[in-house]
Amino acid sequence: MPPLKKNGKNGQKKKLTEFKFNVDIRTLFIVAFVALFLFFTFQSLSKAAKQVMPEKSITTIVKEVKQGKIKKIEIIDNKILVYYSDDKLAIAYKEASESFLKTLRDNNVNLDKINVTIKDTQASAGLVNFLANIIPTILMVAFFIFLFRQARGAQESVFSFGQSRAKKFSKESPKTTFSDVAGVDEAKKELEEVVDFLKHPDKYKKLGARTPKGVILIGPAGCGKTLLAKAVAGEAGVPFFSIAGSEFMEMLVGIGAARVRDLFATAKKSPPSIIFIDEVDAIGRARSVGVMPSHDEREQTLNQILVEMDGFNPTEQVVVIAATNRGDLLDPALLRPGRFDRRILVDYPDLEGRKAILKIHSRNKPFVGNIDWDKVAKRTVGFSGADLENMLNEAAIQVAREAREKITVQDIEEAATKVKLGPEKKRLQSSLDKKLTAYHEAGHAVVSHFLPHTDPVHRISIVSRGMALGFTLIPPAADKLHETKTHLLERISVMMGGRAAEEIFFNEVTTGAANDFDQATMIAKAMVIEYGMSNLGPVNFGPNMDVTQMGRAYYSENAISQEMMAKIDQEVKKILTEGYDKAVLIIKKNKNILEDVAKELVKKESLDQDEFEKIVGLKTKK
């Protein structure tokens, strides 16, 4: 913690000087601008003066001086301003090299009689010129200094390419342990082996067991991969060197490989230790996929990792842990035995997992009464560990903002919606807009309510969030491993409910259903192409599945004939229109109920499950 603080301070200081610097540049610009402005004003002023005054020749003026018509003469550089006795003005021009005084003298003018002043603006004009020359130079220099300062950070990284940016955590630094991670019990169990190996290497050596070298954690973002890697280091009490794959991909080709070399060298100096490579897919993307601009760099870096891992001798107590959320994109070379030969899935937590994660992250927060965490866990199907943590944090922030003491169930509910759908946007809506949205959302809700296999409606709202004008939340009541065809079809009908309601009640359609169609089409396509749930039979028309890897590998497209493509499109369309027709049927049958729901929505803007069921009755689910 203390080193962190120091960093913060340094950062602040740097910011401050940078700020001052910016002000200087601005002042310079202002000065330059004012100078230019004055310069041009002066120029145009003298031009204006020229226009008013009649111009006379030198000889005329000499003549007039002799005649005594002139009381005063001002000589400004090559201009001669003439003041007549009758207060008129005139101007004459002379050669710069000639002296007007001399001309007067040569013409026998008595200089005592007339007032002659000589103003030499050469000096001040020189100053203007000087400024005009120097200001751009100053600006340029300032600009370069600015650029240099900006680039210095980058420069440093260029000059230090020998060193990896792996952050070294001291032996006791990762305080994270397995008790901070929940909901990923299988992963934990597998990693416990790694911990054991790091703690008691002799036990394994005696048995001649080949010890784990590389572990790869595969799973969606926010499910705890980084957390698990830290926990392994924390449990084993070993140093933890971490670097992100994207950090390898910088500027100069070859840096990535150099970094890898240095990273492994450093880690080997303090065994036992853990090397953690986050986002390894940024490096280890299957090499046959496309030609990327940084192709060579990736190749070199990847090769270096492989070389380093192959170079481990079996007794070396350095374990490499890598993390990725794109298991399908990993290069097979990485996954060979002796490299990342252990693959561990870190997936979304199930109900029990969510309960456990909520318990971890609610430890240091004050709550009103006793919150029904079971219910919260049920409502948050599909949330990752990071989502849950984020949700509780948002709830706490909201309470702090309103200067309350404790977090309520409502705060958690609001935060859950915010995490998934974005913050509320109080837009000014016309009453027609509001009404349209209300009927649209009520359409979704009512269709869902009267379908036999769908889950209960959790919340309906016509307050817009993110891109959505309103939303109807129907979270799955339980974690399901299988989706049935019946349920998928019903979900499509629910998605069509919004548009169907618009049609039926307003005889008009809006753009608000675009996202619904998008999702419905995705489901329908998956049903036909991947799940074999259409009249085309049990065939997968999708990209090849590669069973040796996790997930999908897009190496080759199945060659599908034009006719088959047309048939697939037909099937998709059929599923969608049938879903729509079903929605229309349900709405027509329950027109009055939908109207009641919509009116209540316009009034309250948001209905929860109880309020909704007060109108439509309890949900009967098969």
The residue ranges that bind ligand ADP (CB under 6 A) are 181-184, 221-227, 323, 349, 357, 360, 385-386, 389
Task: Please report how the helices 385-401 and 409-421 are oriented relative to each other, as an axis angle in degrees rounded to 10.
Answer: 120
The least CB distance from residue 593 to ligand ADP, in Å, is: 41
- Integer angstrom CA distances of residue 473 from 103, 379, 391, 543: 99, 10, 17, 32
The single residue of 190, 235, 308, 441 carrying the catalytic annotation is 441
Q: What is the per-residue binding string for Mg ion in 198-227, x denoting contact by CB under 5 A?
A: ----------------------------x-
Q: Which of residues 516-545 bind Zn ion (CB under 5 A)?
A: 516
317 binds, among Zn ion, Mg ion, ligand ADP, none (CB under 5 to 8 A by kind): none
Is residue 176 part of the contact set for Mg ion (CB under 5 A)?
no
Give min distance, CB of 361 to Mg ion, in A: 17
HEC string of 399-467? HHHCCCCCECHHHHHHHHHHHHHCCEECCCCCHHHHHHHHHHHHHHHHHHHHCCCCCCCCEEECCEECC
Tell me the pairing of strands 424-425 and 464-465. antiparallel
- Please, what is the minimum distance in Å from the beta carbon of residue 191 to Mg ion? 15
Nearest approach in angstroms of CB 17 to Mg ion is 34
Of the candidates 390, 380, 375, 302, the one whose C-alpha atom is nearest the C-alpha of residue 348 is 380
Nearer to ligand ADP, 349 or 497 (CB): 349
As a whole number of angstroms, the distance between CA 81 and CA 603 comes to 83
User: Which residue lies nearer to ligand ADP by CB, 325 or 510?
Assistant: 325
Rule CB under 5 A: say whether 389 interacts with Zn ion. Answer: no
Q: CB nearest Mg ion: which residue?
A: 226
User: How many residues sit close enough to Mg ion to count as binding (CB under 5 A)?
Assistant: 1
Which residue is nearest to ligand ADP, using beta carbons?
385
Beta carbon nearer to Zn ion, 389 or 516: 516
Size of the site for Zn ion (CB under 5 A): 2
CB of 77 within 8 A of CB of 96?
yes
Instruction: State yes or no: residue 300 binds Mg ion (CB under 5 A).
Output: no
User: What is the DSSP secondary structure assignment for residue 320, as one 8-state letter?
Assistant: E
By C-beta, is 157 or 606 nearer to Zn ion? 606
Span from 169-177, 247-255, 383-391, 497-505 in contact with Zn ion (CB under 5 A): 497-505
3-state DSSP assignment of residue 218: strand
Q: Locate 38 and state its tokens.
A: 């004055």
* 498 interface partner picked from Mg ion, ligand ADP, Zn ion, none, CB below 5 to 8 A per type: Zn ion
Q: Answer for the pair 273, 238: CB distance below 8 angstroms, yes or no.
A: yes
- Least CB distance from residue 394 to ligand ADP, whole Å? 13
**Alpha helices (H) along 312-347:** none
Buried b (16+ CB within 10 A) or exposed e, 60-84: ebbeebeeeebeebebeeebbbbbe
In whole angstroms, how close is the CB of 483 to Mg ion at the nearest point? Answer: 28
Is 402 part of the annotated catalytic residue set? no
On whether the CB atoms of residues 621 and 456 are closer than 8 A, the answer is yes
* Contacting positions for Zn ion (CB under 5 A): 498, 516
Active site residues: 441
* Contacting positions for Mg ion (CB under 5 A): 226
